[in-house]
A and B are shown apart, each in its own frame.
Chain A
Amino acid sequence: MAGLVTALMAVVALAAAAALGAQAGMAGVFGIAVPYVAVAIFVAGFIKKVIGWASTPQPFSIATTGGQQYSQPWVKQAKFDNPSTPGQTFVRMALEVLCFRSLFRNTKLDNRPAEGRVGYGSDKSLWLFALMFHYCFLIVFVRHFRFFLEPVPMAITGVEFVDSILQIGVPTLYLTDVFFVVGVSFLLARRIWDPKVNYISLASDYFPLFLILAIALSGIYMRYFAKVDVIAIKQLAFGLVSFKPVIPPNVDWSFYMHFFLVCVLWAYFPFSKLMHLGGVFLSPTRNLPNNTRMVRYINPWNDPSIKPHSYEEYENDFREKMIEAGLPVDKEA
């Protein structure tokens, strides 16, 4: 609970700081300085972390297999759960990254002592909401490119069109906005209500959830309630990416709050568990083929000086007894 409260307070404080700061005439700080710094931290931090991982040797091939191995032709291999070639491994990774394959497998413990049985029911809720959350995040992210690009590419207008297909309200409601909030809320609720997950949760688990929720809600507020001046915001965004920053007038404080929270997310990203975005590609249990009997896997620090207790020493130890037992020896006594 302490973690939850701390994280919530931290996010509230950050949001308040931006809202008040912007109204107190610090638009330049929140609109120009902070975003540049945040993006710089994100890029540098992300690269450093990934290079740190990638430059560390993976001494052993430790693929976790999820099905039948490659064997004789008459035995059907589970190609994408137990890949033996780089191509199959690629598919395994794609399924993992794009469809959350491992999470799809999730089960739930169902211990019923009264009936004398313990079962493992299928549990796809985490998979479903996690997938919803991540894809909505992606689409919302892509949609935002219209603020930086002129003319707005077809791909983005296309996404927007589909996203607002229900044509509810003015401005039209984006479906992803709704599902995004639903997704984050589920992940948050689960952390609070599932005793197991609650017990393992740290402030650093709640913080990004609250932060992302606050970003979503402030964005929704801007768009649907404050109905902020989009042209002005686009001018600001454009200035940032073209390195000719400007602070246009008529930008509502709610924009600065939203934008500041996004910047916090950028800057926080490389130092947090959010780095699973990069790490998922580097997980050796998933990104290596199970072909270690066919192809020698090299460990760069394999120590050739480690030798077995030699047969010679062994025989020296036991020669007489071996001879007596009629076991062949290399050297007679």
Chain B
Amino acid sequence: MRWHKRLLVAGVTSVLALTASACAGGQVRGGGGTPQPQPSGSQPATTQTNDSTFVYVPNLDVVTDWDPATSYSNEIIALSNIYEGLTRYNSETRKAEPRLATEWTSANDGKEWTFKLRPGVKFHSGATMDAEAAKKAIERTIEKKGGAAYIWDAVDTIEAVDASTLKFTLKYATPLDLVASSGYAAYIYDVDAVDPDGKTTAGTGPYTIDSWQKGKETELTLKAFDGYWGGWRPEQYKKVAFRVTPEITTAWQLLQNGEVNFVQRLNPQLFQQAGTTAKVQTAQVPSFQNLLVLFNTASGPTKDERVRQALQAAIDYDGLIAALKGSATKASGLVPQGLLGHATGMEPKQDLAKAQELLADAGYGPDLPELKLSLTYAQGDEDQKLLVTLLSSTLKKLNVTLQAKPMTWNAQWDLGKKQGQDIFVMYWYPDYPDAYSWFVNVFKSAEKPQFNLSYLKNAGIDAAIDALPQLTATDQLKADMAYQDLQKKIIQEQAAVAVPYVQTYQRALTDDIQGYVDNPAYPNVVFFYDLKRAS
């Protein structure tokens, strides 16, 4: 009879484990304050022609922060459909377009901005969106000091001149129309209705929360906001679901089966397959995120400009792009295509003869003393690893040994702030669609460098960087030329950095989706309102 007791043991163990986990007694899933789905009859039947749900597959959890003031993470893919800013960036025209503001002007050399607000816009809470409400929202975002709130650093005062006029006075000139189009920290919301727990939304956007279940596969569902100022057409998607699927092959299978509509990221092999699969369409666009190989200009062997130039010439740019199989495009300068300031004709090329010559000048090379360089890059990043492997084998032939160390971002950054390496590999992307971000953060002198990890210190370059915002705000043509000039100085003259590639977004969608445009200013965001379903 002994096995009965053994069975009892196993049973008791399981029960104990179950009891330990049983905590959620009596809650309705999606409950705990999360709004319950409304009966489908709550919307007028005439607008329900497209009653299918658009299913978006992200690889990571969707929401970590519901507060539109401090949100600074993956939830941009949902919040961009719930909240709106004064403007939205158009990556084709490279300009800000009307959203909650219909028109705007700047005065006093870009230090004064006046926005005319769209009339008749209601928040999801029912309150009216007017200048006073917009002022309160931006002021709250600034006060919270979270996420990307720094984008408003230039703002001195905000004034609600009348119900539809919002006036900003700035401390220094800034292209505020671009700032206002940021995907982070630029939302206009009803400050009295903000709920950090995601029970309600306080935006003006086309969608509101239908259900939110943290940790579940279908983490978040959105539904159409009936009172949206843009109105609704029958063919638009009224329901959206975010189905978190970390495993890429699983996401691909779901798409092939038609269970989901949009996969945010596939690997290059699957993306290639997707291009030839029936009922699947693909889209790819260069992002605003590029890889920077920063050379230590302050100390060590790379202090010698010739060594830095040799390293630039040693990188196998074309080989790298080929090996990345479409997930990256060749960079031309520091500013990715689609942003004001993008320089054409600056595509780098490998030139080993030049590299060897420059190294020989500096006293290193095959018949000269060996050069040892330390490099740090992101642990687990296969693309960066590829760059390092290719560079390392090329340099070996030039009698240069690359001591490459994969590190976590935190550790790498800590080391970088202490000037602990010769070469620092990292990505950069702007928070709002403006090239200024690369220059002010990465290449402007600083006593204690945060991101200036080439430790470049050049008064002329600093002065040119400081002049960029005002130029962008007042004379875009001149700003464009200033950007081009700066890139030549930083990349060619100073050789502080090499830019091997710009990352490419590769998406796969079901072929019944129409109207999809990948806007790199809003990373991984699908503006569901702009889509329709082919009948």
Q: Do A and B bind each other?
A: no
* Chain A contact residues, CB within 8 Å of chain B: none
